[in-house]
Amino acid sequence: MQLRPYQTNLRDAIYAEWQTGNRNVLAVAPTGSGKTVLFSHVIRHNAGAVCAIAHRQELVSQISLALARDAVPHRIIGPKNVVKLCINIHLTEVRRSFYDPAAACAVAGVDTLTRRKESLASWAKTVTLWVQDEAHHLVTGNKWDSAVSMFPNARGLGVTATPVRADGKGLGSHTGGVFDAMAAGPDMRGLITGGYLTDYRIFAPPSDLDLSGVKISTATADYSRVGLKSAVRKSCIVGDVVKHYQRITPGRLGVTFATDVETATDIADQFNAAGVPAGMVCAKTPDAERVAILRRFRRRELLQLVNVDIFGEGFDLPAIEVVSMARPTQSYNLYVQQFGRALRPMPGKSHAVIIDHVGNVVRHGLPDSPKEWALERRARKARQDDGGIPIRACPECTAVYERFHVSCPFCGYKPEPVARSSPEFVDGDLCELDAETLARLRGDVAAVDQDTEAYRSQLIARNVPYVGQLAHVKRHAGRQVAQGVLRSAIAWWAGHQRAAGHPDSESYRRFYHMFGVDVLSAQALNTAAAESLAERINLGLGLTATNRGGR
């Protein structure tokens, strides 16, 4: 299998990290970018034995198929039914089996691998490379760590789309993980622009789901399963999933993520009753039945697959056109994985559709907003604070869009602000503020711009002692210098916006949501805040004091 250019670049970055002495490398690339294809290529060209590790039979069989497509003989360390499943998939997809129980290369389920630790000890010493799929699971002391620790003579490669954990633990070897370095591939928006992933539209229908009483599990840092099931079954989500699928995307191939088997079964039953052929898949679905359901889906004999935690991490279903989210999650990883199921291109598919019934998009933001990944620990939080622009759902058409838009880009509806007396009511859009508020903000700016001698005269009139006058005037002058740098940065930023064709109203909103302050209030910030904001703006523009011509 031939690598795409961005996969070749990521492969080279991985090898470069190994060559500099970093033993274990984490490769990061978006859902749908072909990480399995990439590490299959690495495995094929590795000298010595290899073990690729996954935590579910669906991922084991997917890795096994990738190796078969690369003509790599391999053993499968898993239950007999998984071995049989992989062989059948080989025969169906590549017309021959590459399963070899004596091969040096292995694909292993993590639980089976650790259970057979003693019997595999001799082979494990010959392994020169381990590969961990969905490597955000791998931190010191857990079962994934026990698995990779079986290979004392191997270097490591982990792959993930989201190198963060809901519990905040770091993946770096210096923060409780095992990885010494990170190799980052392209971001999701870059792959969409390049045509490797499809673009998307999001709809967020009104929902009566109440999660206020649902506890967060200390073990998973996600909603408790029992609480989720209760909350969802008290809501109208089961019927809403069917109704809004028929309203927005009738006849398209869709996957619905549900909280539990009972709810998934009810949703599938309602799809079928409404004339939409649907199947339900969960962990207890027999392998043969699961394979048959997927084949019927690919042949469009089924239009909906309702599942419980099956088609999330790493699962490849290229035919999906619609994802319906009926399972709330506090996990950014799970959210991105579910979202990404629909982003793989296919002939005739102009865009994917995401129908979010449970607030996941509002909770986590758009998955292709810029991210700064790191191997360090993160503070535990439900939503990533990455400076992304927040979103809103249109009350008219239920489409979701970023709040810098003045009106809904899909139906044209323009929400009226609840008030015009403060920037937060209008998303920082100075064009929407009333005259009195604008005058007040401009007065604050004028006070900063006041001549130092006029400022000194004011201090004298207020009977400020001479020593106090000197201190105040010095601070005032320093504030003006800092504001000069900030305003230069704002001017550069505004120039970029106009060059990109963005109208002023939209640019005001972008600035407010990106930097947390409106353009006028920014020009009245104190010295420290002005310096900090100028640095953030210039970093975003890739500017330095030298190349922007400032101080």
pLDDT in tens, 73-91: 999 999 999 999 999 999 9
In this predicted structure, the answer to whether residue 545 has a pLDDT above a threshold of 80 is no
Does 547 fall in a domain?
A: no
pLDDT digits (tens, 9 = 90+) for 116-175: 999 999 999 999 999 999 999 999 999 999 999 999 999 999 999 999 887 888 999 998
The answer to the question of residue 200 being in a domain is yes
The answer to the question of residue 402 being in a domain is no
Tell me: do 76 and 222 sit in the same domain: no
Whether residues 9 and 153 fall in one domain: yes
343 and 445 inside one domain:
no
Tokens standing for residue 519: 């353009």
Per the rule left: phi > 0, alpha: psi between -120 and 50, beta: everything else, 48 is left
Q: Are residues 311 and 445 in the same domain?
A: no
pLDDT score of 380 more than 90 = no
Q: Identify the domain boundary among 187, 206, 225.
A: 187
Q: Do both 14 and 140 map to the same domain?
A: yes
What is the predicted pLDDT for the residue at 244?
96
DSSP string, 233-300: HHSSHHHHHHHHHHHHSTTS-EEEE-SSHHHHHHHHHHHHHTT--EEEE-TTS-HHHHHHHHHHHHTT
Pair (169, 198) in one structural domain: no
Residues 11 and 142 in one domain: yes
Q: Does the residue 393 lie in any domain?
A: no
User: For 502-513, what is the HEC assignment?
Assistant: CCHHHHHHHHHH
d(CA 73, CA 64): 9
Q: Using the 3D structure, point to which of 187, 219, 253 is the last residue of a domain.
A: 187
- The answer to whether residue 497 sits within a structural domain is yes
Domain boundary among 138, 158, 187: 187
Is 398 inside any structural domain? no
Q: Give 426's DSSP letter.
A: G
Task: Please count the structural domains in the chain.
Answer: 3
Asked if the structure places residue 375 within a domain, the reply is no
DSSP string, 455-489: HHHHHHHTT--HHHHHHHHHHHHHHHHHHHHHHHH
Q: With 60 as the cut, is the pLDDT of residue 381 above it?
A: no
- For 446-503, write each residue's pLDDT tens digit: 999 999 899 999 899 999 999 999 999 999 999 999 999 999 999 999 999 999 999 9
Segment 229-262, tens digit of pLDDT = 999 999 999 999 999 999 999 999 999 999 999 9
Same domain, 222 and 203: yes
Asked whether residue 146 falls in the same domain as residue 221, the answer is no
Are 524 and 489 in a shared domain?
yes
- Measured between its terminal Cα atoms, the distance across the chain in Å is 53
| Enclosing domain of residue 456 | 423-541
User: pTM of the entire structure?
Assistant: 0.79
Phi/psi of residue 158, nearest 5 degrees: -110, 145
Tell whether 411 is covered by a domain: no
- Residue 39, sorted as left (phi over 0), alpha (psi -120 to 50) or beta, turns out to be alpha
Taking 80 as the threshold, does the pLDDT of residue 546 lie above it?
no
Does 176 share its domain with 231?
no
**517 and 427 in a common domain:** yes
Question: Is the separation of the CB atoms in 251 and 348 below 8 Å?
Answer: no
Domain CATH code at residue 294: 3.40.50.300
Q: Residue 383 — very low, low, confident or very high, per pLDDT cuts 50/70/90?
A: very low
